[in-house]
Amino acid sequence: MRVGDLMNSPVVVINGTDNLAYARNLMLREGVSRLVVVKGTRPIGTITRRDIVRSLRNYKMRQRDFDSILVSEVMRTPVTTIDENAPIAEAARRMVSANIKGLPVVNQVGELLGIITKTDLTRYFAEMMKGKYTVGDLCQSERLPVINRHHTVYRVVDVMEELGTDRVIVVEEDRPIGIITETDLSFIRPPKASNSFLKGARAESEEVSSTRFYLIPVAEDIMTPDPLTANLSEDASSAAEKLIDNGIGGLPVVNDGGLLVGLITKFDFVKALAKEV
């Protein structure tokens, strides 16, 4: 099987002169985590949810509206691409080598044809690698991205940056109680100096009352509670299927007692494929 057999086409593209608000809304509308930045028919960069999250960490960026920040200011360039006729394992190796989660697919003259992502490779793993690995063989077990429910959103961003991960696990007494991903962060509009992140209203006893105003939201405000998990001894292909079927990127790994012992993500399946001949 070749890259061209798994790639997604057409590709959701954007220009370097578009703004971050448009990029963010385009990702949300199209249900994608990355956009290919093009000049004509050729890819010149990429922008991902993580790039948007990184803009939250930069103080000067945080003071600007998303519609004043250009894609060219935060995109990754030069872009790493792959030929449509390359084998699947080569795509995995290239992703691992460059530490990226998606590759624009080009023809022999460098024109954009499609994109292949960690999701495509995880789906391939689920179908082709049954019985070959357990979750324990592939999962991360050291330097896990864990926080507690009272850590601020800025601590969440810092942990993601420090550990190079796209999610953190919220724990209580060593048990996973929630997940926060780049998706949760990248669609929060950063505040101006005098504004809060979140505001709104809710109905209480047929009356409307103001919600809390979060100057700095904490983990429990934005986490997804009661996350799906994987067991150490589970077939890795089963965990891969769980990710694909539920449209998620990673699972906390627990032991038989339900305690957190690891994390397995789509990129761990990419790493496994990269070692295949």
- By the 10 Å C-beta count (0-12 exposed, 13-18 middle, 19+ buried), 51 is classed as buried
Domain range 3-128, its CATH number among 3.30.2350.10, 3.40.50.2300, 3.40.50.1820, 3.10.580.10? 3.10.580.10
List the structure tokens of 185. Answer: 């962060």
Q: What is the mean pLDDT of the chain?
A: 89
**pLDDT value for 55:** 75
pLDDT at position 43 over 50:
yes
Query: What average pLDDT does the segment 243-269 reach?
Result: 97
List the structure tokens of 73. Answer: 């200011």
Can you say whether residue 40 is alpha, beta or left, with left for phi > 0 and alpha for psi between -120 and 50 degrees? Answer: left
Under a CB-based contact definition with an 8 Å cutoff, are residues 148 and 178 in contact?
Answer: no
pLDDT tier at 215 (50, 70, 90 boundaries)?
Answer: low
**Residues 40/43/45/49 CA torsion (nearest 10 deg):** 100
Give tens-digit pLDDT for 104-158.
999 999 999 999 999 999 999 999 999 999 999 999 999 999 999 999 988 998 9
Name the H helices within the chain: 3-6, 20-30, 49-57, 59-62, 71-74, 88-98, 118-128, 135-138, 153-163, 182-186, 219-222, 236-246, 266-274
Give tens-digit pLDDT for 54-112.
776 676 777 888 889 999 999 999 999 999 999 999 999 999 999 999 999 999 999 99
pLDDT tier at 164 (50, 70, 90 boundaries)?
Answer: confident
Residue 166 CA, chain-centre distance (Å), reads 5
| Segments making up each domain of the chain, as ranges | 3-128
**pLDDT value for 146:** 98
**pLDDT value for 205:** 44
**Percent of the chain at pLDDT above 70?**
88
**pLDDT value for 61:** 78
Residues in the chain: 277
- By the 10 Å C-beta count (0-12 exposed, 13-18 middle, 19+ buried), 167 is classed as buried
**pLDDT value for 54:** 77
Query: What average pLDDT does the segment 168-177 reach?
Result: 97
